[in-house]
Copies of this chain bind each other. A is one copy, B any other.
Amino acid sequence: MTVDTVQAPAPGAAPGRLMRAEIKEQPAGWNRLLDEGQDAVARAAAAFRAADPTQVVLLARGSSDNAAIYGQYLIQIGLHLPAGLATPSVHTVYGRPVFPPRSCVLAVSQSGASADLVRTLAAAREAGCLTVSITNDPDSPLAAGAHAHIPLLAGPERSVAATKTYTSELLALWMFTRLVSGRRPEAPELAVLGEQVLERAGAECERWAERLSDVRRLLVVGRGYAYASAREAALKLMETSYVMAQGLSAADAEHGPVAVLDRQTPLLAISSHGPGTPSMASVVAAARAAGAPVEIIGDGTLAGDSIPALLPTDVPPDLAPLLEILPAQLLALELAVGRGNDPDRPRGLNKVTSTV
């Protein structure tokens, strides 16, 4: 999807109409990708198994960079392969592309059009890496430039704030790693759980947004898989509600940033049940000690008084990020609309950001 194919919201349309519709489309989009996308993912996985890379380098910007962080955890934990994030400017600014030997370079991008990613992927291919791309536009340069391409099949994303393409990127990465490791990418309950989370969060969201209506600063914290969710939640809040939000791993938060927490600076903890719970509990305790309001997107494991558990308890940890982000997307939307902003057209942003 490039700028000129995106239909701008009609003048006078309700603010956030596109973002709201695209948030709701997600579970159906997941089922479409699980079903119709499986062949393309299987081809990419077969190429990966044939090349037998010893590690993966992920290449992304913006929301897709947060999806890439999820992919980094998934590949390390699920495939037991080292995985890192590329620093595109080493190539595009300093002209020194460096890729590990026998690596797979995996580009993740909604538009598939960002110039720095296109150039870096081309350099990786020239250096002998296996290249795989995940984009929502099968005609984009990143789709054409890779050995294998996985289309998101999410339909055009018209709101500037990425929502459905973000979770589709997560799901494509999950399907890919499942197939690489020889397991079928089946998640029959996922869309049902997604609908439930959207319903629960929808019912809470207005109250929640009202509680946070005056907030201008916020820390968002997660651990492990939820680190990606924390970053993406913060990015949504920044770009739609103009809240200065920072998404951190619970461990990094304790190395300094927790000092900003105060009565006007809440903590948003994203925590499904899992091995990261103890370190999340430690940050929540620090926030409470600082008198900071604590909001939790969780399954009830972390004690939180403010809002009921929004997440189910029986989700595999590697799929939890698809569900965790849904309440944050709705919160960003409601906060923005409540403040009189139009999250479909945030100030100062375009849908496709072309960085070099």
Contacts and interface: CB of A to CB of B under 8 A. Distances in A.
Interface stretch (A72-80, A190-198, A298-306): A72-80
B87 A73 contact: yes
A259 B239 contact: yes
Interface in A57-97: 57, 61-63, 65, 72-73, 76-77, 80-85, 87-90, 93-96
B100 A82 contact: yes
Given A80-B98, A89-B276, A348 B259 contact: yes
Interface string A324-356: 000000000000000000000011110001011
**Chain multiplicity (copies):** 2
A319 interface: no
B63 A256 contact: yes
Contacts of A240: 259
A216 interface: yes
Contacts of A169: none
A235 B256 contact: yes
Interface string A109-146: 00000001000000000000000000000000000000
30 contacts: A54-B100, A57-B82, A61-B252, A63-B255, A73-B87, A73-B90, A76-B87, A77-B94, A80-B96, A80-B98, A82-B99, A82-B103, A88-B251, A94-B224, A95-B275, A217-B217, A235-B256, A238-B256, A238-B260, A239-B257, A240-B259, A242-B259, A251-B355, A254-B353, A254-B355, A255-B353, A258-B349, A259-B348, A259-B349, A286-B348
